[in-house]
Every structure is written in C-alpha cells, then in structure tokens.
A and B are shown apart, each in its own frame.
Chain A
Amino acid sequence: MNLLRFALVMAWRESRRARGRLILHVAAVSLGVGAVVAINSFGANVNRAVIHQARALLGADLELQAPEPLDSLAAMLDSARRAGAAVSRVTSFGSMVLALRTGRTRLVEIRAIEGQFPYYATITTAPPGLWPTLQTSRCALVDSAVLITLGARVGDTVAVGEARFPIAGAVTDAPGDVGLRTALGPRVFLPARYLASTELLGFGSRARYRVYLKFASDLEGQRFLATHRAALDAAGIGHRTVRDEEEDLNRALGTLARYLGLVALVALLLGALGVASAVRVFVRSKLSTAALLRCLGATERSVFAIYLAQAIAVGLIGASGGALLGVAAQTVLPAVARAFLPLEVTPALDGRVVLSGLALGVLTAVVSAFVPLLALRTATPLQALRRDQTGPTPGLRAGRLAAFAAVAGGVVVLSLWEAPRPGVGLGFAGGVGGAALLLWLTAVGLMNGLRRFLPATAPYVVRQGLANLFRPENQTVAVILSLGFGVCLLGTIYVVQRNLVAQFAPDTGPGRANLVLFDIEPDQRSDVVDFLSGHGVAPAGFIPVVPARITGVNGQPIAALRDSSRRGSFSRAALVREYRNTYRDSLVGGEEITAGQWWGPTGGLTRQGLGSSREPSEPMARISVDEDLAKALGLSVGSHVTWDVQGVTLESEVTSLRRVSWGRFQPNFFVVFEPGTLEDAPQTYASLVRVAAPSLRATLQRDLVVRFPNITCLDIALVEQSLDSVLTKVSTAIRFMALFSLASGVTILIGGLATSRLQRERETLLLRMLGASDVQIRSIVFMEYILWGSLAGAVGLLLAGAAGWGVVRFVLEMPFTLPWKALAAAGLGVAGLTTAVGWASSGDLLRKSPLAAWRALIE
C-alpha cells in the first residue's frame, strides 16, 4: 500500500471517533475564513461599483471649482460650448433657512443650480420628476431631512436670506448620497437665477463655485483639459475628471475595506489559534495510537501523514464553510456600510476571493496544526507498551523552530496582504506578535508563579484549582491567548470610538457656548448686541474673521510652490485654500504653543499694518500657525508668509506654532495675527452665545434669520447629534467584522473547555469517588476559570488601552483619554463570563454517575 493511500484511509478511519470534536476545529477555521472572504468580496464589489458609478457620482465629465465666482472662465467655457460641450454651474454655501409656517430654522447647504446638471445620473424627487422644474420655475427642492427638521411640507414657503421660495418637493435620492449626508448638512436646491435675490453672497460668504462640463466625446474632454490645465492651475481652480473621482473613491474605500480586512485577519488568527490548541490535545490523545501503528510497522512519515491528512481535511471543510459564511455575510455588509458608502454595492460572487479564502483556510489549519503534530514524530513504538508514560518528549528542536518561523512568517505575509499600506501591515503584524508575546508571558508567568508559590495553607479546592492551571496538558496558554486577543480587539475598537466621540462631542458643560453666530458684518455688531439683549441673552464679544490667501512662502511665489507641491514636498490644498484668519493678543482655551513665543498682551512695537508700506527696518506682522498646517506648508518659526488680504499684500513672519484642539466648540483658526495688523482689513465677526433652554434657542434662531438673514447660526445640539449618528454608523461596520473575532473567541473557549474537560474527567471522577461534593468540584473549576478570565481580561484590556492609544495618538493624531472605568467594568465582565461558562460546563462533569464514569474509564 503506498504511503498516501494508507495515510488517507487511516486518517478517515482514525477520525471516526473524533468527528464530533473536529467540528470545533472546523468552526474555528470557518469563522476566520468567513470574515476574510466577506471583507475581500466586499472590497472587490466596491471596486466594481466604483468603476461603474464614478461618472454618475461626478455627474459630468469634468468638474472645475474655486472659492470665488468662476467669471474669469467665460471665454474658456464659450470655446467648450462651441465644441459641443454642455456647461452647468452649481454654487453652494451654508445658510440658515426658515420655514414661514412653522417658524423653525435649520442651517443647510444651499445649492444653486444652473444648467442640466447632473448629466450622468437622475435625481429622484417626491413627487417624482421635479428636478427639471428648477430650470423653469421659482421653487426650492429640499432633502427630506430639511422637511423633517423644519416641520414643513411640500407647498410651504422657506425664507433663504431675503428671498422666499415655495417648496416644490423633496429630493429622495441623488447619486453619491451617503446615509450620513443629510445628517451632516441637508441641502436646499434653488434655481441659480434667483440666487442674487437672497442677497447672501456678499463679502465674506463661504461659497463654493463649481462648473460642470459634459463633452461630446472623451477625446474632446481630454483635449480641453490638456489645453487649459496650466491656466486653471495658475488661477488656483481645481479640476476633477471621472478618472480622478474613480481613483479617489478607490483609494478611500479601499483603505476602509483594508482596515476592516485587518479586523477580519484577527478572526482568522484566532481561528488558527483554536486549531492549534485543539490539535495539540488531539495529538496527545492519539500518541498511543501512533505508537501502536509504529509497533505494527508504520513509518514515522506515514504516521505523520495520517494526522496531517486529517488537519488538511479540517482546513478544507472549515474553509468551505467559511467561504459560504463569507459569501452570506457580504450580502449583509453593504447594508451595514450603506450609511457611509456613496455607492450602490451589489453583492456578487468573486471566484478569486473565494478560492483564495479556501487556500487561506487550508493553509491556516495546516500551519497551525504543524507544530503540535510534530509531537507525533516522537511517538516511539516503545510507548505503545508503556502505558504509564508521563508525556511526550519535546519535539525536534529544529523542526519546531522551523514551524514557529512558518507561523510568524504566515502572520507577516497575511498582514501585508490585508493591510492598506506596508507600514500598517508590518505594524499590525508587530502588534499581533507583541500582544501574543505579552499574553504568552502572562500565561507562562502565571503557571510558573503558581508552581513556585502555590499557597500551601490554602484550602484544598483552591490549591487543586490553581494546580490545574499548570498541570500537564493544561489549556492556560491557549485560553489566555485567545480570550486575551478577543478582548483586546473589541476593547481597542471601543477605546478608539470613545476617544473619537469625546474628541468631537462638544463640551456642553454649563457656561459653555452652544450657539455660534457667523458672518456678522461690522456695522451689524451693535444691532446684534441689542437683539441678543432683547432675548435676554448676555451680549458676547466678537471675534474678527479676515479672509486671505497665501501668495508666497519665504519669498517664493505660489506658482513655484505649486510646482514643487506636485513633487510632493508641499500640500497643494494648503497652498490654494482660502484662509479665514483672526487677530488677538492672547491664546484661548484649547491652544498651546509648541514652538517659538507668543507675543505678549501689549504689543509695544509698532508693526507693519495693512495698507502701510513697509520700511526695510520695520518688523513684519507676526503670526502664529497651527502646527499641522506648518507641517503641510513646510513652515517653521522664522519662516515668512506673504498674504493677499482682499487684494492687499501683507508680509508676515511665523513667530510661534500652536497646537489647536479642533474638537472644541469655538471658532478655531489656522493662523492668528498679532493685534495691530489686520484691524483695517475687510472682515466679518463671529460670536459665541449660550442659550440654555432649547425652546429659547429655537426662538432666537428664528428671529435671527428674520432680522439678520446673512448671519449663520450653528446649533451645538445639532452638531452633536450628527456626529453621534456618523460615528455610530461607522462603528457598526467595524463591530460587524469584530463579531467574527468574538465568535472565534467563543469557539476557542468552548474548544478549550471541551479539551480540558476530557483531561479533567479522570481526576474529577477520582475526587468524586473519594467523596468530593458538587460544590467542591465546582469550586475547583471556579478557581481555574476565574483566574483565566480575569488575567486574560486584564491583559487583553491593557493591550486594548495601549493599542487604542497608538491608534488615537498616531493614526488619528488626537489627544488620548483612557476610558478606564468602562474598561475595568469590561474586565470584570470578561472574568465573570468566563467563570460562568466554566461553572456551567462543570455541570457536565457531574451529570454522569461516578460508577458509569469509572466503568467507562477502566473498560
């Protein structure tokens, strides 16, 4: 009989008695593979959707945009029109709207449409077919959320600035709409020709101007961009093609899918761990069979092959189950991710993903079974004759080292494969390795510590329970590793989410402002103070806001800088954007100087102000720059920045860098000028107000819109709600993937219980024969599990804290706070749950009568 056939036949026969137990190994593999297949299929589907929908998402062949009216493009657009292109304009800006019937207000995004935009998609309205009416009648179409928050219905009139529009209908679906879209800024669509009548687009308004072009052919489009690219770049006008859209979407969504992929990878690693620990015990129980086979003349290799064949079978069955699970799960994933996906993702089967999932499952099972299987090679024929042998001798050192290297290599390769960037992959693999090492050290330390310092005077059940933790064939390492990993993963997700929420959730403590008024014009200041006093609100100070652009850095004109930005040394966006700067003499809360020196409260020096011509000896205007912006622009203390402040040139010198806490609910500024420099520049003001009662806040906002239509009002409660819904939706997707890991962890726990129960049966039986009661047996188990659970929980959560800190501090770059109370509660929960599982499982040990168990043992 050749080796392979013998191995396969024996593997099949040998598995007969153990198939029930193999189900757990299979489940462990299935969950891991399921997670990976689900997330990779999802990634493939998203990719396909991007390619199909990018044009619809952009709505045109080319988008041009700038923060100022694109009047300079008239000649360029005319020539395009002559070549057969269609042109649309969309102007968007934030503004308050007021529903006249209900008197309710809402900050919305106004979009004024001119032309046939979008060209490659349909905007669905209720009642249907209303989109073209924007071109023919004076009316407004609004997002459904606007109707809800205003308490308005179709036919009501909304006030937008000085103009009034009847609501013709609601926009129910537009391409690129994300579930979160309307939470962040619901839209009101208006015909562009009535935009002027709102009188909202005066000085200082933060409007975005976009032109959309549809060309007669792709070639025409390419020719247009090739001709005008330089001119557009020089004028600081952004351009975006369908290809750009596609690339950006793929990058963004690909990154998302791959981060989720790492979460899936953890599930797979946990599955591998489950297989390894189960196989270890399985092999232990097969040692005598292996020795017997050797006695009967089987070679070492054929014995090894028998059990390797079983491991491959487990991998194959598990991976198949996992592939099915993954395919099933990816029909759910798009629904979970819908809230933040701008695409219609249709689940489809991707053969390559399924095949690679299968291969991954088999490989995982085989690699993780390999180390424990090595023990079989040491089964000598003599062992069959000596039933009293105490344990397998350690495997071949070289073989074990090779197998461990294979496992470590496997983890690195898988991490690199799933990770969005090599750095992240290596970091992840390193984190997994570090976490595994720490958990392993904890387990080994626990065992050694107990072995050495087992309290000799403790009651018997305590000593026995503790001794079980380091007895031969104990599951301490496997349980602490798997449980700790699962806890660490879920804990990390929790810690990161809590930090995100805390960072963005505005401080709502008493005394804190909860309304921000923007765009107050200088001559409105006293009226606003009167208005606020009239509503019983303490008049607040005014914060000046001065719009400006950068025209040069360190003497280099911006055009030159833009060229180098293409080579990646500068952030292009940071160069061309419009800055809204302020001036003041002191730092505000949430700001911290990280380099250089803040100017004192009293200026002393007379510096160059706006409009005055600078003498060479005269010091320049001093500015303080946000440290991240400084990084993006390559600025440091001493750098010079040249500004265009509404057409007037102003030189400035960076004298300090600040860290700004952007999550604080207050107007924050990238650049602060020292007083005495910008006072004469055209400016608007912002003001912070606190109005405690929600009803009063609503009244104030309504009256404000009527009295000062140009002033925008931001309500903190709304901001908070929106952020909450965003974070909830994103974390739902992550939690969905984490569920796989949790399920894997539970499988391993059950597997650990099952295997340790087999080992424990004999001893429990003995104790029962000697007269131990239920309570004594259960107490022994209790000791074991409470130590397992609390140690795994504690170390897992410790790691979660560390991992969360790393992610928050270095990936998200936000300040970190440790939600230690919640983590401590979770730790207790894990310990309690593990103990409960152990307690419940020990019931099984007590169910059989001692005599029946004894007979089973000796027969």
Chain B
Amino acid sequence: MPYLWTHMMLEAIDLEQTYWSAGAPLTVLKHINLAIEPQAFVAIVGPSGSGKTTLLGLLAGLDAPTKGIVRLDGQNLADLSENARASVRATKVGFVFQTFQLIPTLTALENVLVPLELRGARTSASTPRARHWLDRVGLADRAHHYPAQLSGGEQQRVGLARAFAGEPKVLLADEPTGSLDAETGMRVIDLLIEINRDVRTTLVLVTHDPTLAARAQRVVRLAGGSIVADGPPDLG
C-alpha cells in the first residue's frame, strides 16, 4: 500500500453517491476507494451508466458526496462549501470536455483567459500567458477567432489551452475525443499527453475508447457504480 506514506493528489475513501429520482433513491456510486499519485495518468473506463462521469465530478469537487471522503491535494472536499470548492477548482483543477464547451461570445484568446480572470488576475497580466498556451497548441494565429470560426479539432485545442493555462494540479478530461474523428482525436490526445508530460499534471481521463485507455499508465474499470478492475492497461 504505497499511498499510506506517499502524498496522494486524489483520494476517494469509501465514496458513495445517491441521487433522488422520482422519489426513489438511485445509488450511482458505492464503495469507491481510489488513490491517484501526483503526475499519474489514469483512465476511467466502463459502460454507459457505470458512474464514470459522476466519479470524475466528485473527484473535481463538483458536488459533495453522499458518503465518504474525497481529497484533492490533501484537502477534504466534502468539508468545503460549494464556494470553497469552486475556489479549489479555479486554482487546482483543469477541465477538458467532450463538446469543447467554449463560450461562443468570446474569442479563442478570451476563452483561454477565462480561468485566469476568474481568479481575479488582470487581463493585461494574463494575456501573455494565454497567448503562450494558444501558441503551445498551435493556434497562435487564431487568437481572435470565435469558436464558430474554428473546426472541431481547433476548438478542442483551445479547450486544452484553457485547461492548462490555469496551471492546474489535476486535469480532468471527459471523453475529450468523443466529438472528433479518429485522426483529429488522436492528434488532440497526442498533444494532451505531450503537454501533460511537460508540465507534470495529474491527468484523469474518462473514455470509451480502448486505444485511448491503453495509452494511460493505469486503467480503472467501473461497472454498476463499483470499481471492478484497477491496474495497468494490459490488465484493464
């Protein structure tokens, strides 16, 4: 049990999540125990409805768990208010979404600026950093384009720039290639893994795609709300 004495970036202890739907409880996750080391690259896989998204959300502090503990960088998210969790997300968590989720009324550059500005940073101070990240994803020349003027692959690259611009400790990606064709998706993933290696972020990725999962260091398989397998990709 190496994580007993190693500092863990993400920890879930006896995690359980229950929703009330039409007056009846619906347990989406139960008995989840998981520890993720700093700089690890973990893929969460499983069929639809197995609880992947909920687990990702709880690890990011998007909700308080019904039962159990979630620690992000040593901080128990269950103890925090929603606003305090929001500030944890703003400083320590980056997101990459399946449908990119760029703000349509903002340019590429402004979209990358959002996480920096939400922290209260001044626009003038943050702009060089946002430009740097756009350059890093190869879109320096598209800074002033609106999302609608970008292709799907380009939009997701802006999404990557936004996720990394905040220099998060944890990067959570939800089916990042789900809306892209195989080739574009592969290029985005290459970029993601490459940047992740450079900046040493902890990367947790939810996916259906076995080839994508195979590139992770570790695969956690969910079924019916419980972890059914947890190990290197070849075992997954």
Which residue numbers of A lie inside 8 Å of B, CB to CB?
A: 388, 390, 456-457, 459-460, 463-464, 467-468, 470-472, 762-763, 766-774, 776, 846, 849-852, 854-855, 858
Contact = CB atoms under 8 A, between A and B. Distances in A.
A763 B86 contact: no
Given A471-B105, A771-B86, A858 B98 contact: yes
Given A460-B118, A763-B103, A771 B57 contact: no
A469 to B, nearest CB: 10
Contacts of A388: 152, 179
Given A468-B105, A471-B104, A768 B19 contact: no
Contact of B83 (A464, A770, A774): A774
Interface string B212-223: 000000000000
Nearest to A454: B105
B121 to A, nearest CB: 9
Nearest to B162: A770
Contacts of B115: 770-771
B118 A769 contact: no
Interface in B93-141: 93, 95, 97-98, 101, 103-106, 110, 113-115, 117-119, 123-124
Interface string B36-63: 0000000000000000011001101011
A767 B118 contact: yes
Contacts of A770: 89-90, 95, 114-115, 118
Contact of A849 (B63, B89, B93): B63
Contacts of B113: 460
SS class, residues of chain A in contact with chain B: helix
Contacts of B63: 849-852
A771 B64 contact: no
A472 B54 CA distance: 31
Residue among A456, A457, A772 with the most chain B CB within 10 A? A772
A696 B186 CA distance: 100
B190 interface: no
B228 interface: no
B53 A855 contact: yes
Contacts of B14: none
B91 interface: yes
A472 B147 CA distance: 13
A467 B89 contact: no
A772 B89 CA distance: 8
B95 A769 contact: yes
9 contacts: A388-B152, A467-B105, A769-B95, A771-B86, A772-B90, A773-B87, A849-B82, A850-B57, A851-B63
B57 A457 contact: no
- Nearest 8 A/B pairs, CB to CB: A771-B90, A460-B117, A851-B63, A851-B57, A771-B89, A851-B62, A849-B63, A467-B105
B53 A858 contact: yes
Contacts of A464: 103, 105-106
B191 interface: no
B54 A768 contact: no
Given A767-B118, A851-B62, A858-B174, 14 more contacts: A460-B118, A762-B101, A766-B101, A767-B114, A769-B60, A770-B115, A771-B88, A771-B91, A771-B93, A773-B87, A773-B90, A774-B83, A849-B63, A855-B57
B216 to A, nearest CB: 21
B34 interface: no
Contacts of B105: 464, 467-468, 470-471
A456 B124 CA distance: 10
Nearest to A775: B83
Interface string B159-172: 00000000000000
Contacts of B91: 771
